[in-house]
Amino acid sequence: MPHKIVLIGRPNVGKSTLFNTLIGERKALVERTPGVTRDRLYGEAEIEGRKVTVIDTGGLTPEVEELFSHEILRQAEEALAEADLVLFLVDARTGLTPLDERIAELLRKKEKPVLLVINKVDSKKEVLNLGEFYALGFEPLLPISAKHKKGLENLRKEILAHLPEETEEEAEKSLAPIRVVILGRPNVGKSSLLNRLVGYERMIVSDIPGTTRDSIDTLLELPDGRQYLLIDTAGIRRRPRIKARTEKFSVDKAFEALDRAEVAILVLTAEEGITDQDQKILSQIEKRHKACIILVNKWDLLDGKREEGNILMEQIKYGARFVPWAPILTISAKTGRRIKEVLPLVDEVYAAYSRRVPTAQVNRALEEIKRERALYTPSGNRLKFYYATQAEIRPPTVVVFTNYPEEIPKSVERFIKNRLRNYLGFEKSPLKVVFRPRR
Ligand code: GDP
Ligand code: GDP
């Protein structure tokens, strides 16, 4: 989870101007959390290569400032709870105000690091007024002009110096959210599932434009900071309103979304099991080496019909045999059955998808495979496999050096892939195998 920097200050000091400057071109997300007075703006920023989340607490207009100063303090207090670093903004042009002093008092009571940022120092003229801000009790004073982008380099430097150390684990976690796409034929329950998923969890949404004009992604953040970007949810989220029964499942659009995802969730139903259409989707998932989960929805329809359930499960496993690494989970978006297991399963397949195996282990597996049987090209040349290494994660990709890389038959490729998957423990992840000439 990136560390969080919260902008605090009375209205009109320039919080949103600074917010926009820090996040640059990136999109801001609006959080709507029940119990929080106002929408908070969340933005991702990169400060000297380090990812941070910047939070703007929003504000009221100056006219109501006096009336609502307690409200402003309350918002500041709420936002403070999750701050790793506070940027306390004041305005050099208006000078020190009583509300600034009250905010300072609040901040002194908390044990969060605070940087006192004096905004609107556009020129030397304002520099002369800085002295009075020492009264707030925070040093050093950091003069900036958010509007004219002055003093920002120094501010960034100070931010970096005052953020808590980033552990390796945090560095790993601060990577982008897991990109998930929910696929399936119309009426299998995709929107019901999505509503369940976002319904359970605190949601930082929302409408992040995707690649095409009408595609929208949804960002889901759990209270512990794990994030999922649900790709191309436009159709899914809109559906309850448009709900056209005639709507055609757009294969092209689904595959475009699949390209952007890391984990594909294919939704089937207990009514129809696995259909040709589903198999086509799965083969695309396989071809693109995406991590995958198969959800069999509407399992409530099979309550008390155990035998039927077993038969259906066998049918699905058989139909999905070419993606043996995709776990199958039976759920009911209607009753909530096992919905809580969905995101943990996403984490699990993603972890497998992100796994790196040491080269020595890859080569031991290769030796085992060579011992199992001799392999040939279609023209009868004996294939030799010299050496292998895992070159990539997501998807895990093993490069195998061989004498005839261009002539490896599909069957041999499949054999090696499956064996490597087993030997290297990629039970829940696809494995990509690339053949290269010996060097
Ligand atoms: P917020 O209410 O704290 O979010 O403040 P805003 O970011 O909306 O800024 C309030 C006003 O101050 C706007 O008219 C900004 O254009 C202006 N402003 C922001 N930063 C600066 C600055 O560095 N210099 C000057 N002169 N004006 C600024
Ligand atoms: P989508 O087209 O894939 O987004 O499917 P919807 O979520 O709109 O669901 C299609 C229909 O299936 C709706 O009438 C839902 O109420 C129903 N449905 C969804 N999930 C379940 C479930 O778990 N059990 C049952 N019995 N019906 C469900």
Going 21 to 26 to 27 to 31, the CA torsion angle's sign is: negative
In sequence order, the β-bridge partners of residue 319 are none
Mean pLDDT score, 192-201: 79
Report the candidate in 382, 285, 396 with the shortest Cα–Cα distance to residue 350.
Answer: 396
**pLDDT bucket at 27, cuts 50 / 70 / 90:** low
Give the pLDDT score at 144.
96
Q: In what order do the strands lie in the sheet with 397-402?
A: 385-392, 397-402, 432-437
Q: Is the pLDDT of residue 121 over 80?
A: yes
What value of ipTM does the predicted structure carry?
Answer: 0.54
Give the pLDDT score at 221.
81
Give the pLDDT score at 239.
46
Ligand 1 lined by 120 (C-beta under 6 Å): yes
The C-alpha atoms of residue 28 and residue 313 are separated, in whole angstroms, by: 43
Q: Cα(297) to centroid of ligand 2, in Å?
A: 8
Task: List, for residues 282-330, the tens digit of each pLDDT value.
Answer: 999 999 999 999 999 999 999 999 999 999 999 999 999 999 999 999 9
**408: part of which helix (H) or strand (E)?**
none
Give the pLDDT score at 29.
58
Q: Cα(239) to centroid of ligand 2, in Å?
A: 11
Find out whether the peptide bond into 206 is cis, omega within 30 degrees of 0: yes
CB-count exposure of residue 9 (10 Å: 0-12, 13-18, 19+) = buried
Ligand 1 lined by 9 (C-beta under 6 Å): yes
The C-alpha atoms of residue 326 and residue 398 are separated, in whole angstroms, by: 19
Cα 219 off chain centre by: 7
Q: Is the pLDDT of residue 46 over 90?
A: no
User: Domain 3-172 maps to which CATH number in 3.20.20.70, 3.40.50.1820, 3.40.1410.10, 3.40.50.300?
Assistant: 3.40.50.300
Give the pLDDT score at 237.
59
The ligand minimizing its distance to the Cα of 7 is 1
Cα 136 off chain centre by: 39
Number of C-beta neighbours around residue 70 at 10 A = 9
Ligand 1 lined by 97 (C-beta under 6 Å): no
> Binding site annotation covers 120?
yes
Q: Cα(78) to centroid of ligand 1, in Å?
A: 23
The C-alpha atoms of residue 172 and residue 167 are separated, in whole angstroms, by: 9
Give every CB contact of residue 402 below 8 A, 6+ residues apart in sequence: 383, 384, 385, 386, 408, 435, 436, 437, 438
Higher pLDDT, 212 or 129: 129
CA angle 400/406/411 to nearest 5° reads: 75
Position in ligand 1 atom list of the atom nearest CA 18: 7
Number of C-beta neighbours around residue 46 at 10 A = 14
The one-letter amino acid code at 88 reads F
Q: State the chain's mean pLDDT as an integer.
A: 84
Higher pLDDT, 256 or 420: 420
Q: Is the pLDDT of residue 91 over 70?
A: yes
Task: List, for residues 202-257, the tens digit of each pLDDT value.
Answer: 444 445 555 454 667 888 887 777 889 998 776 665 544 444 444 455 666 678 88
Share of the chain above pLDDT 70, in %: 81
Q: Which two tokens stand for residue 210?
A: 């995707």
Share of the chain above pLDDT 90, in %: 54
Ligand 1 lined by 122 (C-beta under 6 Å): yes
- In this structure, what are the phi and psi dihedrals at residue 43, rounded to the nearest 5 degrees? -135, 145
User: Which whole-number Å values give the CA distances from 314 to 269, 305, 318, in the listed order?
Assistant: 14, 15, 6
Mean pLDDT score, 63-79: 65
Higher pLDDT, 119 or 439: 119
Of the residues 187, 233, 302, which should be mutated to test ligand 2's pocket, given the most ligand atoms within 8 Å of the CB?
A: 187
Pairing between β-strand 178-183 and β-strand 227-231 as defined by DSSP bridges = parallel
Mean pLDDT score, 349-375: 93
Q: Is the pLDDT of residue 53 over 80?
A: yes
User: Which whole-number Å values give the CA distances from 390 to 105, 109, 233, 362, in the listed order?
Assistant: 55, 52, 33, 7
- In this structure, what are the phi and psi dihedrals at residue 346, rounded to the nearest 5 degrees? -60, -45
Query: Per mean pLDDT, which range of 193-197, 245-249, 301-305, 397-401 is the poorest?
Result: 245-249
Q: Cα(276) to centroid of ligand 1, in Å?
A: 58
Give every CB contact of residue 254 below 8 A, 6+ residues apart in sequence: 181, 183, 281
Ligand 2 lined by 195 (C-beta under 6 Å): no
Ligand 2 lined by 330 (C-beta under 6 Å): no
The ligand minimizing its distance to the Cα of 254 is 2
Q: Is the pLDDT of residue 38 over 80?
A: no
Mean pLDDT score, 417-431: 95
Give the pLDDT score at 60.
45
Higher pLDDT, 11 or 297: 297
**pLDDT bucket at 72, cuts 50 / 70 / 90:** low
The C-alpha atoms of residue 384 and residue 256 are separated, in whole angstroms, by: 38
Q: Cα(20) to centroid of ligand 1, in Å?
A: 11
- Domain extents in the chain: 3-172, 178-352, 359-437
User: What stretches of 121-233 show up as alpha helix (H) in DSSP?
Assistant: 124-127, 152-162, 168-173, 190-200
Q: Which two tokens stand for residue 303?
A: 């309550």
Give the pLDDT score at 3.
86
Q: Cα(90) to centroid of ligand 1, in Å?
A: 11
Q: Which two tokens stand for residue 226?
A: 């794990």
Q: Which two tokens stand for residue 396?
A: 């895990």
CATH homologous superfamily, domain 178-352? P-loop containing nucleotide triphosphate hydrolases (3.40.50.300)
Higher pLDDT, 110 or 355: 355
Q: Do domains 3-172 and 359-437 have the same CATH topology?
A: no
The one-letter amino acid code at 93 reads R
Cβ–Cβ under 8 Å, residues 129 and 95: yes
DSSP string, 55-94: EE-----HHHHTTTHHHHHHHHHHHHTT-SEEEEEEETTT
CATH 3.30.420.40 fits 359-437, yes or no: no
Cβ–Cβ under 8 Å, residues 37 and 114: no
**235: part of which helix (H) or strand (E)?**
helix 234-242
Cβ–Cβ under 8 Å, residues 269 and 328: no
